[in-house]
Structures are given as C-alpha cells and as structure tokens.
Amino acid sequence: MKDNQKLLYRQSLRVPKRFKLEGMNDLYTQKVNSKILGLPINYLVWMYYTGEKHYDKQKFIDRKEVKIKKFDRKIERANDPRKKASLQYRKLRKIDLVNAKIENGNHFMQWGEPAAVFDTAQVRATIDKINNFLFSKGYFLGKTTFELKEYKRRVGVVYSVNPGSGYFYDTLSTDIQDSIMADLYFQHRPESF
C-alpha cells in the first residue's frame, strides 16, 4: 500500500427499522478484507504481500515456453496417433497450470488477498447499485448517502439508505382485442400471480 492510500476497513448499511436488508450486503462494489476471528490483524493480506515479494512472473513465462518446446518435440517424434493425442492433452494440462500461476500468482498470493484500498469512485458505484436495487423493489424515490469515518490510515463507510415510500400496483386492467385470447386469459387468470 502506498503512502497516500488508505485501507477500507469497514462498510455498513443504515436502514429504517421496517426495511429488510435481504440481498443488500452483496451490493458493495469494493469488498473489505476478511478478518480471522474478528481480529484487526489481517493475516490474509500479510500472506498475499509475502507471496508477492517472492513471486517472479517472468520465471513462469520462461517455464511455459520450455514446456511448450519440450512437448512439441515429443509430439513430433511420436508415431502413434493415440500417443500424440495423449501428449497434446498432457501439454494442455501443464500449460493451463503454468498459466494459472502467471495470472493468479504463487500459492501465498492465491490463498491471501490484496489490501482493500479505499476508493471514492467505488463508493459512488455502490451508491448507484443500492439506488438501482431500491428502484427494482418499487422504491422509486429512494436515496442513499454515505458517511466516512477515518482513523489514521483506515476508513469506514456507512451507507444511509432512505427508501422513501414504496409503490404498489392498485389495479390491473386488460384490453385484449382477440376474443379467443381474451377467453384463454380469463379462463387461466386465477392460476396466475
């Protein structure tokens, strides 16, 4: 983490008592780092950056090239079509494993997680997602605001959700021009929601 960056430490939603939070905790665009046993010490971040110190991407790219050349030589020398097919399959598996190391890093990097750096653009994106969620649930006038709580290099964000009043369907009217379709509609209407 750079000197001018801050760690996203906590996010929470503040909603009215009558409002259900169901499905809203998945709307955060930026995730907070996991905590083990609720402790402020974050082992997963430490694990990620320790793995990153010992990770050399070029080493895996070179290893990939060596494996490709090795398998290409074996495939070229093979006479049996079944053996060629087997070697090509093994080549693809080995290359996929090396590609995973190139993309995801070493085991420490895969098990750990990078530090969640606070980003105001992500806060705005989260507010948009929450407002869209409210709109999809019938709260067309819903508004969301945020409040930042900073302590040293850590930031907590509290999203205050004001859903407004919900809109509900009062009546439904139908205007079906085709009489056969109208008969089918009214015949099956009690079965629908």
Q: What is the model's pLDDT at position 171?
A: 81
Sheet holding 7-14, edge to edge: 7-14, 154-162, 143-151
Q: Which residue has the higher pLDDT, 159 or 36?
A: 159
pLDDT in tens, 134-168: 998 888 988 999 999 998 888 999 999 998 887 87
pLDDT band at 96 (very low <50, low <70, confident <90, very high): very high
Under a CB-based contact definition with an 8 Å cutoff, are residues 27 and 126 in contact? yes
Q: What is the model's pLDDT at position 157?
A: 94
Under a CB-based contact definition with an 8 Å cutoff, are residues 102 and 60 in contact? yes
User: How far apart, in Å, do the first and last CA atoms of the chain sit?
Assistant: 53
* Rounded percentage of the chain residues whose pLDDT exceeds 90: 35
Average pLDDT over residues 12-38: 84
Residues 6+ apart with CB under 8 A from 107: 51
Q: Which residue has the higher pLDDT, 192 or 160?
A: 160
φ and ψ at residue 143, rounded to 5 degrees: -135, 145
